[in-house]
Amino acid sequence: MLTKIKQKLQKILTKPAQALQKIGVTPNKLTATAIILALLSAYTYTQWQTNKLYLLLAATLLLLSGLCDAFDGALARITQNTTHLGNFLDSLLDRYADAAIYVAIIISSLCNPLWGLIALTGTLLVSYTRAKAENIGIKMETIGIAERPERILILAAATIITIYWQQTLNYAIILLAILTNLTVLQRTIHTYKNL
94 is catalytic: yes
How crowded is residue 14: how many other Cβ atoms within 10 Å of its Cβ?
14
Q: Return the pLDDT at 75.
A: 79
Q: What is the mean pLDDT of residues 82-102?
A: 91
User: Tell me: the pLDDT tens digits for 43-79?
Assistant: 999 999 999 999 999 999 999 999 998 888 777 777 7
Per-domain boundaries in the chain: 2-194
Q: Report d(CA 100, CA 98) in Å as an integer.
A: 6
Instruction: Identify residue 63 by its one-letter amino acid code.
Output: L
For residue 7, is pLDDT > 80?
Answer: no
At residue 181 the predicted structure's pLDDT band, cuts being 50, 70 and 90, is very high
- The model carries a pTM of 0.90
CATH architecture of 2-194: Up-down Bundle (1.20)
Q: Return the pLDDT at 85.
A: 84
Active site residue: 69, 72, 94, 98, which one? 94
Residues whose CB falls within 8 Å of the CB of residue 93, separated by 6 or more in sequence, listed in order: 31, 32, 34, 35
Contact between 175 and 154 under an 8 Å Cβ cutoff? The reply is yes
Q: What is the mean pLDDT of residues 4-14?
A: 66
H helical segments located in 23-163: 27-45, 53-78, 84-107, 113-135, 148-162
Q: Report d(CA 31, CA 126) in Å as an integer.
A: 20
Q: Return the pLDDT at 125.
A: 97
For residue 82, is pLDDT > 80?
Answer: no
Q: Report d(CA 112, CA 110) in Å as an integer.
A: 7
At residue 137 the predicted structure's pLDDT band, cuts being 50, 70 and 90, is very high
Q: Report d(CA 141, CA 53) in Å as an integer.
A: 35
User: Tell me: the pLDDT tens digits for 107-122?
Assistant: 999 999 999 999 999 9
Q: What is the mean pLDDT of residues 23-43?
A: 92
Residues whose CB falls within 8 Å of the CB of residue 127, separated by 6 or more in sequence, listed in order: 91, 94, 95, 98, 148
At residue 2 the predicted structure's pLDDT band, cuts being 50, 70 and 90, is low
Residues whose CB falls within 8 Å of the CB of residue 61, separated by 6 or more in sequence, listed in order: 37, 38, 40, 41, 44
Q: Return the pLDDT at 83.
A: 79
- Which of 8-22, 128-142, 153-167 is the most confident on average? 153-167
Sign of CA dihedral 107, 178, 71, 88: positive
Q: Return the pLDDT at 17.
A: 74
Q: Report d(CA 134, CA 128) in Å as an integer.
A: 10
Q: Report d(CA 120, CA 124) in Å as an integer.
A: 6
Q: Of residues 3 and 25, which shows the higher confidence score?
A: 25
